Amino acid sequence: MKIVLLALLLAGGALAQRHKVNINTETPEGQALQQIGQESDDAKKLAAYEKFVQDYPKSENLAWVYGEMQPLYVKANQPDKAVDAGDKIIALDPEDLDTALVTLKAAEAKKDPDLVKKWSNTTGALAQKAIAAPQPKDEDAVEDWKKHVDYAKQVNTYSEYAIDAMALQTTDPRKRVDLIEALYDRNPQSQYMAQLLPAALQALQQMNDAERKTAFAEKVLAKDPGNDQMLLLAADGYSQKGKEPDKVIDYSNKLIEVLNQKAKPDGISDADWNTRKNAIICLGHYWPGKAYYSQKKYSAAEKELRTALPLAESNPALKPEVLFMLADSAYRQENIVDALKYFQQCAAMKSNLQAQAAKNVAAIKAQYRAVK
């Protein structure tokens, strides 16, 4: 079902007015409400309601009044005030699902990621509560119960869609991750997670926040240990932190294992799949190689880096570092011929390691005159 149709269905699916009004025309308050009810101009009616809530802040009719004001704010394209009205109604009636939905839509109109997250969570929680409500024993009430449950299911789906749409619209990577994580915490099986997890991966890479990378990745991996995107994120994050080399190695090894067993996705050519796969496998050897190198485990580092090197041909930013660590690992193990070869290759490439590699080439030639 297209979301446009869903939105139309939701717009027409609200139940009867939840809040009742008690108008006693013998009181000033009742007379004010009666006078407002006779007003046909929306702007004047809204102004009168605003004055009413100032004049009668403890009125028993406040929930009803705010319920009348909110759609007028929506109609007047004042989403800020529509959200504020929703806050006030929910404070008075915490289980008002219809108001939560209207407020969520107002938050969407504001294009405010934080408000969308807040009201999506509120709306989803109320919808789930309605869905879980037991069937009434009174047979005459069963049909209404079924309609309400069906409506709540649609509202719950819309609340998830709102997160999906806002996450894909926002340009702030941190806000994007916040939204996606909020939905994942609510429903890891949401129909929208298939496109949101890759979006989260991209945003987390943009943020360059190692702690957030590993926390998010491990949350997903706890439920989906074979998720190659999250294995990639976890290995990268722990490598970036440089504190727990064993986790770098474990996640990298698991990543390579998963990729080697993964079938080519639909809609991608064999050549493109092999290129993408090899690029990731390259990282899966580079990260452990770097971890071993930092621990001065040069034999293990050399093994991983030798495997990564031919795969790094298409990654000019990575190759010099692979060459430098490989050369130094070989040198530390007194494999001078390979050390010189790799330092020479590194010195021939533009990078922040080029100058040091050139110095190392000169030093090796001076120390081992027989080596060329």
The pLDDT of 140-164, averaged and rounded, is 94
DSSP conformation class of 243: S
Look up tokens 């446009």; give the residue: 4
Amino acid residing at 269: S
The pLDDT of residue 90: 96
Q: How confident is the model at residue 368 (pLDDT cuts 50, 70, 90)?
A: confident
Tokens of 183: 């939905």
Q: How confident is the model at residue 372 (pLDDT cuts 50, 70, 90)?
A: low
The pLDDT of residue 251: 97
Tokens of 348: 């021939």
Distance between alpha carbon 370 and the CA centroid of its chain, in Å? 58
First to last CA, the chain: 70
Beta strands in the chain (DSSP E): none
Q: How confident is the model at residue 3 (pLDDT cuts 50, 70, 90)?
A: very low
Cα–Cα distance for residue pair 256/225, rounded to 1 Å:
13
Q: What is the pLDDT of residues 60-96, one digit of tens each?
A: 999 999 999 999 999 999 999 999 999 999 999 999 9
Q: What is the pLDDT of residues 288-313, one digit of tens each?
A: 999 999 999 999 999 999 999 999 99
Q: How confident is the model at residue 213 (pLDDT cuts 50, 70, 90)?
A: very high
> Dihedral sign, CA of 322, 327, 331, 337?
positive
Distance between alpha carbon 248 and the CA centroid of its chain, in Å? 23
Q: Which of 249, 358, 364 is nearest to 303 (CA)?
A: 249
The pLDDT of residue 8: 41
Task: List, in order of start, the domains of the chain with CATH numbers.
Answer: 1-21+61-207 (1.25.40.10), 210-315 (1.25.40.10), 319-372 (no CATH)
Q: What is the pLDDT of residues 335-348, one digit of tens each?
A: 999 999 999 999 99
Q: How confident is the model at residue 255 (pLDDT cuts 50, 70, 90)?
A: very high
Q: Which of 290, 229, 300, 291 is nearest to 262 (CA)?
A: 229
CB atoms within 10 A of CB 80: 14
337 Cβ partners below 8 Å, 6+ apart?
A: 371
Distance between alpha carbon 285 and the CA centroid of its chain, in Å? 28
259 Cβ partners below 8 Å, 6+ apart?
A: 228, 277, 280, 281, 284
Using left for φ > 0, alpha for ψ between -120 and 50, and beta otherwise, residue 227 falls in beta
The C-alpha angle 207, 326, 256, rounded to 5 degrees, equals 55
